[in-house]
Amino acid sequence: MKNVNFNNKKFYISLFIGTVVNLLIFIEVYMLLKNSTNNITNIFLYQFGNLNITSSSFLVLVVIYLLNQLILILNLGEEFSEELSIYGPYIFTRTNKRSHFIYKKSLQIFIFCFKYFICQFTIVLILGLLFKFKIYNYEQLLKTIGSLFFLNLLNTYLTLIISNMLSLVINGKYCCISVLFLEVIILSLCKYTSIIKFSIFNYIPFVQGIFTWHETNLINTSSRKIFDISISNFNLNGSFTYILVSIIVIVLISKTIVNKIDIL
């Protein structure tokens, strides 16, 4: 089962659009931070891991925060259903191929996301250095950016897997729109309700991707003055575990759905 153009065409389209978008976001972040900090870590935290819940422009910030996910979900949000529409008869006449199909596509999507975020983080690092931001502690930088990278990667991947699961039962782009709309609603509830004060907050989907909301020593004291929202008992280990378990569950549900689909 070949899909030669999957990685090349879609990847370069996503990479180009993502680079333009992240360049524009970087310029905005640079204008906001240039007079308050020259620590390059804060550029990454602001661009990839922050959502200011106290801002009057919160909904706009939510949209900006979701732009990378939007780019990827529009390109990869229906991979399961699109591939089935092409190779359905081949897959469905071989029971063992159904599970293999889900695992293979899930892995392809993960690799796609991994390469996308590697490129975007590298671009922001280069831009940060060109704009005279400094690295004060290499070990701290690697730990922070590494955690931020994998949190973005896994949280976005979870969103894509959910969208692809829905694409098996919902036609068209409705699956992509539904997931993004749900994410906007959930993140908006964090501002307009007192939900962040309750322990149930840790188990609400999508909030785990916001790095600066976590209690973590990877954000130093000076940076915490900029990113002043820290939610009690909301830790990175718990978020990584939640996302990984959710991914496994969604992939298994997708496999079950495909196994129950009749031959087209």
Residue type, 13: I
Question: Given this model, what pLDDT does residue 90 score?
Answer: 62
Confidence class for position 87, pLDDT limits 50, 70, 90 = low
Distance from C-alpha of 256 to C-alpha of 47, rounded to nearest angstrom = 37
pLDDT over threshold 90, residue 245: yes
pLDDT over threshold 70, residue 226: yes
| Phi, psi dihedrals of residue 39, rounded to the nearest 5° | -85, 120
Distance from C-alpha of 252 to C-alpha of 240, rounded to nearest angstrom = 19
The per-residue pLDDT for range 2-48, each reduced to its tens digit, is: 443 455 788 889 999 999 999 999 999 999 888 877 889 999 999 99
H-assigned helices in the chain: 5-33, 40-48, 58-65, 67-76, 79-92, 95-130, 138-167, 174-192, 221-226, 236-260
Cα torsion 68, 101, 264, 1: sign: positive
- Sorted by where each begins, the domain ranges of the chain are 5-260
pLDDT over threshold 50, residue 131: yes
The three-state secondary structure class of 95 is helix
Would you tell me how many other CB atoms lie within 10 Å of the CB of residue 136?
A: 12
The per-residue pLDDT for range 166-212, each reduced to its tens digit, is: 988 887 678 888 899 999 998 888 877 666 666 677 788 888 999 98
Question: Given this model, what pLDDT does residue 147 score?
Answer: 95
Tokens of 11: 């990847």
Strand-pairing partners, residue 134, are 39
Question: Given this model, what pLDDT does residue 193 score?
Answer: 65
Question: Given this model, what pLDDT does residue 95 score?
Answer: 54
Distance from C-alpha of 75 to C-alpha of 77, rounded to nearest angstrom = 6
| Phi, psi dihedrals of residue 13, rounded to the nearest 5° | -65, -50
